[in-house]
Chains A and B, each alone.
Chain A
Amino acid sequence: MIQGFTSFLRTNSGKDLLYIDSGVLRYLNSTSWDPLESGLTGTKDFSFATVAYNDKLYFCNEDNVLRAWDRGATTFNGSMTASASSVPHGNVLVWHKNHMFTLNNVTYTGTTYANDLYWSDFGDPSSWDTSTQKVNLPGGGRLITACDWGDVLVIGKEHSFMFLTGYGDSDWAINDSTNKLENVDEAVGIISPKGITRVGDEIWFIDDEAQIRRLYKTSFDAFRRDIVSTKIQSTLANINKAYLYKAVAWTYNDKVYFAVPYGSDTYNSLVLVYDLIASKRTGEEAWTTYTGWNIDFADAYPTSTTPDLYLADSRHTQIYKHVGYDDAGIAIDSRWDSKQDDFDNPDEFKRYKKGYIHGEAGASNVDVEIAASVGDATFADLGNLNLAAVGGTLGPTGTFALGPTGTTAVLVGSATGEKLFYYSSGGGKVTGRSITHSIRHDEIGEQPTVYGFTCHYGERT
C-alpha cells in the first residue's frame, strides 16, 4: 500500500516523482521506480514538503525521523540526510513562511505529543528548539492537519479550525493576549490530514461530517466559511464516515477533487469533482463524480511545459498519469441523467416522438447511447450516436516524402455525428407527463464529447 507520493520540483528545473511503499522510498528513474531508501517503518502515511530556497525535499511521519534529499545522489540507502530522533517529526509537515511546521502526533526522543505544533528555526528545517518553538493546542478535538494560506497557517482539528499567524522564531508563540489564534467555529473540524486543499485564495476541505466547505477572507480580512456541497447531499450521505479519515483533496486545472470512501468501501472509491469554470459560468455549485478511481495521493508534475496530474492508487502499488481513453485498460462507465422533465406543464400528457443528439470524437469508432424513461418507467435504449472518423489515410501507406521537406501528412480528422432517434424504438412508453433522458458511454478507445440534444413531442391543444 502506498504511504506517500510527491513531486519534487527544483529551482534548476530538475524534477522527480517519488513514492513510499512497504518501507521503501522510490523515485521514477526514466521508466522504472528505483529504490532510494529502505528501512522506513510503520504503516502510517508520510508527509512531504519541498523547500525551494535550499532545493531539498523533506519527509517524515510519527514513526520515522525527518529526512532530507537534495537530489545530489540517487545511491540506494546513501542519498538521504536523516535528522536525529530529537528533531520533532509528526504525520503532517508544512513549509510556511520559511519555517518547517510539523503536527499530528509529533514524536521526538521517544515521546509523542498529540496536541502540540512545532516549528523549525527561521530558514533552517534542520534546526529545532523544542522548548520554545511550539504551541500547545488543547480543545477542539485531535490536532489533524495544517495548510498554508498566504500569511496564515490554517490549523485543522477534529472539531475546530484555527488560524496561526506570526513570523520569525519567537513570534509564533500563541496566547490569548496577542489574539493570534481565532476559532472559526467550534463545531466544524476535519478528520482527514489530506482532506484539505488550497483553491486560489480560499481553503477547501471535507469536514468531520462529510460536508465540503470553503474558508475565505472578506475584503476586511475577516475569516468566513460556507458549504459548497449543498447539491450533492445524497452522495455525501453514502460516504463511509468510519473511514473518512482517508479522504484526499487536491486542486488541479480549475477543478477541486475529493476522493472519499463510498458505501461500504473502506478505501477511497469515489471522487467528487467541483468544476470551477462551470461554477463561475452559472454562479452555482457545479459537481460531477468520477468512479473507478481509488486514489490516496495526488500531485501535479510537469512532463512537458504544463503540469500533468499524477495519482497514487489506494489499493495497489501503482502510480497513474491522468491521461488516456481508459482507466488502465478498463472502460470508463460514464452517464448523465437529466431531470425528470415535465417541460413546465406538469398536468399535460405528452406524446414523445423523436429527437436529435450531436457529438464528436477523435479517430476511433465509438458509440454514445441515448436512453429515456417516460414517467417513472425503466429506461429504454433509444439507439447509439455513432462517432466514426471522417476520412482516412491520405496517399500511400508507410513512409514517403511529401513536398520538399517536412513529415508525412495523414488525414484522419475527428468524427462529428448526429443521431435521429425515436422514442418508440426502445420499446418503452411514449406517452406520459414527464421524461428523463440518459446519455451513456462505456467503451475503450475514445473520449467522446456530446453536444446538445432535442426532444420533439406532441401536446393536446
Chain B
Amino acid sequence: MRILSIYYNDYSGGLNDTVHKRGIKRNEASLLRNWDITYKGQLNRRAGLTPVGRVLPFDLITVSENINITKT
C-alpha cells in the first residue's frame, strides 16, 4: 500500500450546490455558510453584528418635551 496525501489550500471557488458534491472542484464547497473566502488559502469567519444605539421610548420623548418644570 502506498501512502499519498492531498493538500486542500484553496477555497476560492466558494459554494457550488448546483452540481452534485462529487462533481464540484476541489476549491469549491458543497455547503458553505458564514465563512468568507476573500483571501487565497483562507477561510475567515465572517464578522458579526453589534447593535447600535438605544431607542428612547417615543412616549418619554413626548412627555419630556411637554413638561416645563420650574424650580421655585
Which residues of A come within 8 Å of B, CB atoms? 17, 22, 24, 26, 28, 31-35, 38, 76, 230-235, 254-255, 273, 275, 277-278, 281-282, 284-293, 310-311, 317-328, 332-343, 351, 353, 434, 436-439, 441, 446-461
Besides A288-B35, A293-B49, A335-B31, 13 other A-B contacts (C-beta < 8 A): A22-B58, A26-B55, A33-B53, A230-B18, A234-B18, A275-B36, A285-B14, A328-B50, A338-B29, A353-B3, A439-B35, A439-B43, A456-B3
- Closest chain A residue to B61 by CB distance? A35
List 18 A-B pairs, Cβ < 8 Å: A32-B54, A254-B38, A286-B13, A287-B14, A288-B15, A288-B35, A317-B55, A320-B52, A326-B48, A333-B34, A334-B35, A337-B29, A337-B30, A339-B30, A343-B4, A447-B46, A452-B9, A453-B8
Given that A234-B18, A292-B34 are contacting pairs, would A341 and B26 also be in contact in the complex, using a CB cutoff of 8 Å?
yes
**CB distance A281 to B46 under 8 Å?**
no
- Per-position 1/0 for B9-21, Cβ under 8 A of A: 1011111111011
Number of residue pairs spanning A and B whose beta carbons lie under 8 angstroms apart: 228
Tell me the minimal C-beta distance from A191 to chain B in angstroms: 23
Q: Which of B15, B41, B56 contacts A452 (CB 8 A)?
A: B41
CA distance A278 to B42 in the complex (A): 11
**CB distance B53 to A32 under 8 Å?**
yes
CA distance A31 to B41 in the complex (A): 39
Tell me the minimal C-beta distance from B24 to chain A in angstroms: 5
Task: Find chain A residues with CB under 8 A from B70 CB.
Answer: none
Task: Find chain A residues with CB under 8 A from B27 CB.
Answer: 282
Tell me the minimal C-beta distance from A309 to chain B in angstroms: 9
Which residues of B come within 8 Å of A, CB atoms? 1-9, 11-18, 20-56, 58, 61, 65
Task: Find chain B residues with CB under 8 A from A337 CB.
Answer: 21, 29-32
**CB distance B58 to A24 under 8 Å?**
yes
**CB distance A449 to B48 under 8 Å?**
no
Task: Find chain A residues with CB under 8 A from B33 CB.
Answer: 288-291, 333-335
Q: Which of B17, B38, B65 contacts A232 (CB 8 A)?
A: B17
CA distance A156 to B29 in the complex (A): 33
CA distance A286 to B38 in the complex (A): 9
Tell me the minimal C-beta distance from B58 to chain A in angstroms: 6
Closest 9 CB pairs of A and B: A452-B9, A334-B34, A234-B17, A337-B31, A320-B49, A324-B48, A233-B18, A286-B14, A324-B50
**CB distance B24 to A339 under 8 Å?**
yes
CA distance A26 to B52 in the complex (A): 13
Tell me the minimal C-beta distance from A455 to chain B in angstroms: 5
Tell me the minimal C-beta distance from A37 to chain B in angstroms: 12
Given that A436-B30, A455-B6, A458-B3 are contacting pairs, would A334 and B46 also be in contact in the complex, using a CB cutoff of 8 Å?
yes
Task: Find chain A residues with CB under 8 A from B26 CB.
Answer: 338-339, 341
Given that A334-B33, A450-B42 are contacting pairs, would A457 and B3 also be in contact in the complex, using a CB cutoff of 8 Å?
yes
**CB distance A459 to B1 under 8 Å?**
yes
CA distance A291 to B46 in the complex (A): 11
**CB distance A31 to B49 under 8 Å?**
no
**CB distance A33 to B24 under 8 Å?**
no
**CB distance B32 to A335 under 8 Å?**
yes
**CB distance A282 to B22 under 8 Å?**
no
Task: Find chain A residues with CB under 8 A from B61 CB.
Answer: 34-35, 76
Tell me the minimal C-beta distance from A449 to chain B in angstroms: 5
